[in-house]
Amino acid sequence: MSSSENPMAYLLEFGLRKVERERPELSSDGQYQALKDQLMRDADGHFQEIQATYATVLKTRCTCGGQLEPKDHEFGRAGDTIYDSVIAKCKACGSAQEFQFPKDGFISEARSAMALRDYLKQSYGIDYADIIMGELQARQHGA
């Protein structure tokens, strides 16, 4: 799956390209490349899990026979448990159902993102998460 379909992978690639422009020596850093490849693979796996959950929602019928439609996304923490789910509503009767996203992809992606962030911070003093957030804020302000 290409990053143009996956907004998270797009954002990661965008941020990392910016980092690579600032620090061209990264192109010959094997550990950086390995961590980046792992993160892109995990971001893709996570995205595919999300897509599969949405496909399940669309295939599921409400008890009244109506078509379900994803309406909301809930993400948070309850005690030690991270939950990530999509709320779907029936187009016919409006009753809601909750579908849990699998957690494996999310956890792998988060772990890989932290590993890459730690490595860039320790070895280069760069925080790519700050760069991505800065870019998002600049776009929101129409820059």
Site string for Zn ion, 50-89 (x = CB under 5 A): ------------x-x-x-----------------------
96 or 107, CB closer to Zn ion? 96
- DSSP character at residue 102: P
Q: C-alpha distances in angstroms, 33 versus 37, 38, 95, 99, 137?
A: 6, 9, 47, 35, 27
The count of residues interacting with Zn ion (CB under 5 A) is: 6
131: tokens are: 């760069």
- Residue span 88-117 as binding mask against Zn ion, x where in contact by CB under 5 A, dash where not: --x-xx------------------------
Rounded to whole angstroms, the maximal C-alpha distance in the chain is 60
Assess contact for 49 and 102: CB atoms under 8 A.
yes
Closer by beta carbon to Zn ion, 3 or else 67: 67
Residues contributing to the site for Zn ion (CB under 5 A): 62, 64, 66, 90, 92-93
